[in-house]
Structure 1
Amino acid sequence: MSEITIEMPEMFSVEEASEFRESIREHIQNGVSSLLLDFGGCKFIDSTGLGVIVSSYKKCVENGGTIRLKALNANVRKIFELTRLTNVFEIL
């Protein structure tokens, strides 16, 4: 099972969410079900962004994969902690 890395946008909000959802769907259709989301350049995530990541995670798990997160800055990490998503995702 291969894992690909996806660079997250600087501002991950409703504008970027549908494009992200579509790219995840394409990756899964192409047999990639494990993703590493690189938040190195991401400074902000909103509830829509979180929702898309969670729904993408469910699709990956259904296909035998997972989503892992890396390089979360303090603000983005705090959002994941407040929503208890740190219990769902492996954060590197």
Structure 2
Amino acid sequence: MNEITIDMPAMFSVEEASAFRDTVKTYISSGQTSFVLDFKNCTFIDSTGLGVIVSLYKKCAENGGTIRLRSLHPNVYKIFELTRLTNVFEII
């Protein structure tokens, strides 16, 4: 499985979500369906950011792919935990 690693922005909110969505959709349209989202620099995520990631997860899963999360900051991990998305995503 070829995975593409994407570095997440420091603040993943509504302002960054559109550009991120477009980037990943470009990869998906070219046949790529497996991603590692690297959160090493990301200390904040809002509901829009979560929504974009969940939407892309569904798209990848429909095509046999995956989205894995790496290096979640404790603040970001807490959001994933509160929304129970830790049960959906593989966190590495």
Q: TM-score range by the shorter chain?
A: over 0.9
Partners of 1:88 and 1:49 in 2: how far apart? Answer: 16
Unmatched 5+ stretches in structure 2: none
The match for 1:81 is 81
Query: Is the partner of 2:41 in helix, strand or coil?
Result: coil
The answer for the alignment partner of 2:13 in structure 1 is 13
Question: Which secondary structure state, in structure 2, belongs to the residue aligned with residue 86 of structure 1?
Answer: helix
Letter in 2 for 1:11: M
The residue that corresponds to 1:60 in the other structure is: 60
Deviating above 4 A after TM superposition, structure 1's stretches of 4 or more consecutive aligned residues are none
Counting matched residue pairs gives: 92
* Structure 1: unaligned runs, 5 residues or longer: none
Cα distance in structure 2, aligned partners of 1:48 and 1:87: 19
Percent identical pairs in the alignment equals 71
- Distance in 1 (CA, whole Å) between partners of 2:88 and 2:71 is 16
Structure 2 length-normalised TM:
0.98
Name the CA distance, whole Å, in 1 between partners of 2:43 and 2:74. 9
Residue 24 of structure 2 is matched in structure 1 by 24
What is the alpha-carbon distance in structure 2 between the residues aligned to residue 21 and residue 59 of structure 1? 11
| TM-score, with structure 1 as normaliser | 0.98
- Structural RMSD (CA): 0.6
